[in-house]
Amino acid sequence: MERTLILAKPDAVQRGLVGNIINRFERKGLKLIGIKMLSVDDEMLDEHYSHLTDKPFYDDIKNFMKSSPVVAMAWEGYECTASVRVIVGATNPREADAGTIRGDFAIGQGRNLIHASDSAENGEKEVSRFFSDEELLSYDKSEYIHVYEHKERSGDGRDS
């Protein structure tokens, strides 16, 4: 099973949308394996957004992300990063499809509610950045038999 990171950004926290966001992923059938509310500092933001630190708008992102707590969530599921990206919607909420989190709840590009890992590799790195191994829970999710085919649950690729 793949792991991915979701951050409910300060605008999601301030607007009381964290529950709605969690609900979207739960309805999809993904498994929440870690969750916490935290304030992010410069060091964490510089690492997390290292690909943006040289951009002229980075200081605005940094100040916004420090303006209020965020809710960090680690989710798990079969090829879940791609599923999460579909649920989240386009980075610019004005271009996001109706039915996505950004399409339904956001309109300003700089206030797009949520960060979602953009690849399986980054998902693993980002989960490790925000959660220690002790903060991630492993458990059987009884509904998986109704969510995934056997080959997806077992990871062996066979149709048994």
Candidates 27, 22, 23; CA nearest to 7 is 22
Rounded distance between C-alpha atoms, residue 76 and residue 123, angstroms: 10
State pLDDT tens for residues 52-80: 999 999 999 999 999 999 999 999 999 99
State the catalytic residue, choosing from 48, 51, 115, 150.
Answer: 115
Would the pTM count as exceeding 0.75? yes
State pLDDT tens for residues 93-147: 999 999 999 999 999 888 999 999 999 999 999 999 999 999 999 998 888 888 8
Domain ranges of the chain: 2-154
- Which one of 3.30.70.141, 3.40.50.300, 3.60.15.10, 3.40.630.30 gives the CATH number of domain 2-154? 3.30.70.141
Do the Cβ atoms of 87 and 75 come closer than 8 Å?
Answer: no
**Active-site residue 115, yes or no?**
yes
